Structure 1
């Protein structure tokens, strides 16, 4: 007996494939990609796959530099010695950083420190140097009144009139 589903040998006809079966092989995967067989790719052990971070070219810094940061650090250091220059550099560095959308704590600190030290310097000038200058004027006038001879007392301090230049 012959099976009605399969043709007799030597008939020359090929039976049709079962449903869902393709006689064409799947296309070859691209270089570096796993073959896909109709299923989505599975991640190994359930861990997400991340692309590696882009590498900086050889000799370049690993992180992007913030505009004005170096100038802010220089301004910070100078703020203890040369306040006016530090104030100007700090403002320029802060403006550069803000235009780029970054914060620059070094520049801000340089601006604050240099401004405070400039105010302290002005106060010290008026508190120390102005009285010293006026002391010399008072001593000169007191010695002039006695004819530049002897010793006079100015603000509780003895002043030798022979030491004062006419």
Structure 2
């Protein structure tokens, strides 16, 4: 009688990447920053519960969205200040 052959180890299931994390990153690059921040936060919550991959993508979407909003606010403030200071002064 021959010894039984050892069985193959089961192949671990490939971890999926959270779809909302991907969407958050893409949307932030396209300039829809508030939506990207919201989707990134939802993705982080889902990733924590499900163990999916994509935490870095969700964080990148949030960070790019937030930095873009801050830059737009700074540009608006600077533009308003330049326009306000360039008024003609008559004596």
Which TM-score tier does this pair reach, normalised by the shorter chain?
Answer: 0.7 to 0.9
The whole-number CA distance in structure 1 between the counterparts of 2:4 and 2:80 is: 81
1:75-117 CA distances to partner (integer Å, 9 max, x unpaired)? 1011121111111111111111011234521111101111111
**Partner secondary structure for residue 14 of structure 2:** coil
Whose RCO is larger (CA < 8 A, sep 6+)?
A: 2
Within the candidate set 22, 29, 36, 1:86 is matched to 36
Higher helix share goes to which structure? 2
Alignment gaps of 5+ in structure 2: none
Could you list the runs of 4 or more consecutive aligned residues of structure 1 that deviate by over 4 angstroms after TM superposition? none
The equivalent position to 2:61 in structure 1, one of 106, 110, 114, is: 110
Unaligned runs of 5+ in 1: 1-34, 55-61, 139-153, 156-166
Quick check: 2:20–2:39 contact (8 Å CA) kept in 1?
yes
Distance 2:28 2:40 in 1: 9
Change beyond 3 A, Cα 1:65–1:93: same
When normalised by structure 1's length, the TM-score is 0.43
> Paired residue for 2:50, among 100, 112, 122?
100
Q: Does 1:72 align with 2:13?
A: no
2:8 counterpart residue number: 50
